C-alpha cells in the first residue's frame, strides 16, 4: 500500500501534462501511486499518460466510458485510492520535487487530518508568484465559525488522511462549476483543526487558454456558488452545526451578493435564490446582525 495517492483528472492537456507527470517522477519521496483518470478527451493526452504508465507501475490509468467532468473523475480516483494520504493535482499543474517529502514529515508532526500548504501562481509569461508571502511557524489552526472561510476553497492546496475521507464518505458534486467549495466545506466543517505550513508545494498554472479561469460564464459560476451555499447550509443543518457556523454563512451570503451587482443576465433569478436561502435561514429574525449592505441589497431587489 502506497503512502500517497495522487488523483489526476486527464482531459485535453497534451501541451501541459508532461510537466505534471514529470513532477511526480522527480519526487524525493517515492512511495506513491498516481491515479490518472481518463475523462475521454479528444487530444493525445491519454497517449502521453500511457507512456508513463508503461514505464512506471506507480502510474495507474482509470478510464471513464464517456466524458463526465472533473468531479466525476476525482470521485473515480477516490474510489480507487489505496494510499494513506490523498492529494488532488490538476493535470495542467505540477508539484515541487520535494512536495511529498515535506508532507510526509508534516503529517508525522501533527494529529490533524489535513495539511494545507502554500503555492506558486504560474503566469503565462513564465514568471511565478507565491500565493501568500505571510510567514509563520507551521502550526495547527482551529476551524471555528468565520475562520472556516480560509479553509473552504480549492481542493488541491492541501493533503488529506484517507481515514478522514473514508469516515466522512464525502464526494465531489457532479455538474457544478465550483465543486471544490462543496467538497472542502463538507470536509473542513467536520474537523477541529488543520496543520498549516508555509512551503509552496504546488504550481498552479493561471489563465491557460481554454481553462476554466478564462472561459467560464460569470453568471453560471455565481448560480453554482449559490447552489453550493444552499447545499453547505443544509449539510450543516443535517449534522447539527448550522448555528456553529452561522457567521460564516452570513459572511458568505454577503460575499456572493456583492458579486452580482454588475450582473444583468438572470439577475432576478439570482436575487430570488439569495432571497430563498435567507428565508430558509430565518433571516432576519435569527441574524439581526447581518451586514447592512446585504440587507439593503436584498430588500431593494438588487437595484
pLDDT in the model for residue 214: 39
The rounded percent of the chain whose pLDDT value lies above 90 is: 68
The rounded percent of the chain whose pLDDT value lies above 70 is: 88
Among candidates 8, 35, 2, 33, which has minimal Cα distance to 20? Answer: 8
Rg (CA), the chain: 20
Is a pLDDT exceeding 90 seen at residue 7?
Answer: yes
Is a pLDDT exceeding 50 seen at residue 216?
Answer: no
The structural domains of the chain, with segments of one domain joined by +, span 4-213, 217-299
Mean pLDDT calculated for residue range 53-82: 97
pLDDT in the model for residue 213: 39
Q: Where are the beta strands (DSSP E) in 166-279?
A: 193-205
Mean pLDDT calculated for residue range 229-257: 90
CA-CA distance, 4 to 113, in Å (whole number)?
14
Instruction: Please state whether beta strands 139-142 and 59-63 pair in parallel, antiparallel, or not at all (unpaired).
Output: unpaired
Is a pLDDT exceeding 60 seen at residue 133?
Answer: yes
> pLDDT tens digits, residue range 83-109?
999 999 999 999 999 999 999 999 999
Confidence of residue 254 (pLDDT cuts 50, 70, 90): confident
Q: Contact, 181 vs 249, CB < 8 A?
A: no
pLDDT in the model for residue 300: 53
Mean pLDDT calculated for residue range 252-257: 84
pLDDT in the model for residue 264: 67
- Structural domain 4-213, CATH architecture: Alpha-Beta Complex (3.90)
Amino acid at each position: 500500500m502506497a503512502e500517497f495517492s495522487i488523483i489526476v483528472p486527464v482531459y485535453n492537456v497534451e501541451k501541459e501534462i508532461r510537466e505534471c507527470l514529470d513532477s511526480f517522477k522527480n519526487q524525493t519521496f517515492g512511495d506513491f501511486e498516481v491515479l490518472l483518470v481518463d475523462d475521454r478527451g479528444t487530444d493525445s493526452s491519454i497517449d502521453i499518460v500511457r507512456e508513463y504508465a508503461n514505464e512506471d507501475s506507480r502510474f495507474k490509468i482509470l478510464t471513464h466510458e464517456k466524458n463526465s467532468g472533473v468531479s466525476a473523475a476525482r470521485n473515480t480516483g477516490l474510489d480507487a485510492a489505496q494510499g494513506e494520504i490523498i492529494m488532488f493535482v490538476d493535470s495542467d499543474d505540477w508539484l515541487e520535487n520535494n512536495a511529498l517529502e515535506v508532507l510526509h514529515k508534516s503529517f508525522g508532526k501533527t494529529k490533524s487530518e489535513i495539511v494545507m500548504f502554500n503555492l506558486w501562481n504560474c503566469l503565462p509569461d513564465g514568471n511565478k508568484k507565491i500565493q501568500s508571502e505571510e510567514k509563520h511557524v507551521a502550526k495547527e489552526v482551529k476551524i471555528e465559525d468565520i475562520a472556516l472561510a480560509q479553509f473552504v476553497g480549492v481542493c488541491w492546496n492541501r493533503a488529506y488522511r484517507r481515514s478522514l475521507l473514508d469516515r466522512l464518505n464525502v464526494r465531489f458534486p457532479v455538474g457544478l462549476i465550483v465543486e471544490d467549495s462543496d467538497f472542502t466545506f463538507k470536509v473542513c466543517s467536520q474537523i477541529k483543526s488543520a496543520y498549516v505550513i508555509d512551503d509552496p508545494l504546488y504550481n498552479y498554472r493561471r489563465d491557460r487558454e481554454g481553462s476554466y479561469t478564462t472561459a467560464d460564464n460569470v453568471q453560471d459560476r455565481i448560480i453554482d456558488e449559490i447552489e453550493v451555499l444552499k447545499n453547505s447550509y443544509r449539510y450543516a443543518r443535517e449534522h447539527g452545526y448550522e448555528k456553529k457556523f452561522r457567521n460564516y454563512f452570513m459572511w458568505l451570503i454577503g460575499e456572493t451578493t456583492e458579486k452580482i451587482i454588475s450582473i444583468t443576465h438572470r439577475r432576478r433569478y439570482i436575487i430570488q435564490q439569495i432571497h430563498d436561502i435567507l428565508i430558509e435561514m430565518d433571516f432576519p429574525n435569527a441574524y439581526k446582525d447581518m451586514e447592512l449592505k446585504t440587507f439593503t441589497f436584498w430588500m431593494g431587489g438588487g437595484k
